[in-house]
Amino acid sequence: MMKKIAKRLQNLQTKIEKGKIYDLDSATTLVKSLASAKFDETVEIAMKLGVDPRHADQMIRGAVVLPHGTGKAVRVAVFAKGIKADEAKNAGADIVGDDDLVEEIKNGNLNFDMIIATPDMMAMVGKVGKILGPKGLMPNPKTGTVTLDVAKAVSNAKSGQVNFRVDKKGNIHAPLGKASFEANKIKDNLVELVKTINKLKPASTKGKYIRKTFISLTMSPSLEIDSQELIDIK
């Protein structure tokens, strides 16, 4: 099995010109041709930013609603009570609760992809923070997942919102859609993501903001995109 996978990757690697840095149009067209799995692979981007996440003002974190969505059905859980709980349900939330939702999470029932909470519910959410945090599910105002406008937050989540943050080494990883998407839709999603990341550039950063950028599929080699072209996206 491993030999088959290795051979498949070697064959795909021949489609990528060694050492070449691709422009956006070429990259989004080429990445589609790398699809080889029996499922609709996710298009993924990996960016190395010139930031030091040890400094609070350089901890890049945010959210963006991709214009063409991610191609994935997102299950949304909402911590809310009363009218806000009704608003969340009407907006299409899959799970809405308070104490009962806390118990579900404590019991290991994490059958959702994103959590939204009203500000008054954050103390309750904090009870399961040690479970949610490591899984990247903790609601945060910077990603619009701690809000009074739960209807909009649920709508954004269902429409293809992607939450992102730099890791300890200054890298951001995010989905851009599916291999079945048309190349121009993958490009549109990528541009919207990069536009948002560029807006978050800290004044204290030195040198090149976007250092390296790679795009790939779930089971494909990666190819490098011209980072300067991405820096110029406003």
Instruction: Judge whether residue 8 has pLDDT over 80.
Output: no
Decide: pTM greater than 0.95. no
The string of pLDDT tens digits covering residues 102-114 is 999 999 999 999 9
Q: Using CB atoms within 10 A of its CB, is residue 110 exposed (0-12), middle (13-18) or buried (19+)? A: middle
Instruction: Work out the average pLDDT over 53-74.
Output: 93
* CA angle (96, 111, 163) in 5-degree steps: 80
C-alpha to C-alpha distance for 186 and 88, rounded to whole angstroms: 30
Q: How many CB atoms lie within 10 A of CB 162?
A: 21
Helices (H), the chain: 2-13, 24-32, 82-90, 99-106, 122-126, 129-132, 150-159, 183-199, 227-231
CA 92 to chain CA centroid, Å, is 21
C-alpha to C-alpha distance for 26 and 187, rounded to whole angstroms: 10
Instruction: Work out the average pLDDT over 43-70.
Output: 94
Instruction: Judge whether residue 227 has pLDDT over 80.
Output: yes
The string of pLDDT tens digits covering residues 124-157 is 999 999 999 999 899 999 899 999 999 999 999 9
pLDDT of residue 37: 86
The string of pLDDT tens digits covering residues 156-189 is 999 999 999 999 999 999 999 999 999 999 999 9
C-alpha to C-alpha distance for 138 and 125, rounded to whole angstroms: 8
Rg (CA), the chain: 19
What pLDDT band is residue 6 in, cutting at 50, 70 and 90?
Answer: low
Cβ atoms of 196 and 156 closer than 8 Å? no
User: Which letter does DSSP use for residue 75 in this model?
Assistant: P
C-alpha to C-alpha distance for 177 and 125, rounded to whole angstroms: 30
Q: Which of 20, 21, 66 is nearest to 42 (CA)?
A: 66
Determine how β-strand 95-97 pairs with β-strand 76-79.
Answer: parallel
pLDDT of residue 18: 86
C-alpha to C-alpha distance for 214 and 34, rounded to whole angstroms: 14
CA 117 to chain CA centroid, Å, is 19
pLDDT of residue 205: 86
